[in-house]
Structure 1
């Protein structure tokens, strides 16, 4: 057997298990998870996962992502603030607050919305988002502004009631 053939077989024998080690099938959690392009932040009592602001191009935005209450006590999402390099953008939790049951994921793309005035939020910008959580520390994070297309195409961007998004 030639030396080059032995070398090739050796590379295949050693490399195959290494290459295959990263090949795994989907986990049972994959079905439950939403799009996770956004930012993640974990505090002592709450996890915020895959958080972004989806904008519709007409001046409306919606916070999407998953919130998980990691305590045994009830929590509530009571408010949201958005601050940009251009100044604050108004945001409101509609219909006023969102319960966060212990250990249960709350999908913000499916639940009552966090509406954001997005007239000054171009796609690609990162903004400061603060989520006010009753029963836990607030969550401060940088989140991307994403267009209502691709993985966010079916996200319903909620228009603020009567144009008012004051907290």
Structure 2
């Protein structure tokens, strides 16, 4: 299992442009396809004894209920999985009294993973097989994980900078 990343340069402090820039990693999904509901259903079905069709139905019902619950103003905490909540997007105003509902430009569903599934880059996770693959380095040297000097294909799904929308 390899976590692919690219290096990008960003301002250290976005509010202070004189603070300088630093290089940060951005996880890339460019060479992968997103996991699908059908794949999840098949895997869950094979380990749980529940049919694939029933699993798909339950996952779709969960998705519908999650959206409904969030839009009703409640957060959702699924033990062992994590915490779902809404975040509002806006441009902001200088004064609190100038802010109105019209300033809200959108809502985003956020997720905070429970410690049971959270990933850490410490020694225990790395010993469990987690590796990082520097895509900038791979493209420069054309060397893949197995040592072959096979060029890495260009293109693929996604632009490399954003996480695919799981609701799509």
| TM-score interval (norm. to shorter) | under 0.3
Higher relative contact order (CA 8 A, sep 6+): 2
TM-score of the two chains, using structure 2 as the length reference: 0.23
TM-score of the two chains, using structure 1 as the length reference: 0.23
- Which has the larger share of helix? 2
- Which has the larger share of strand? 1
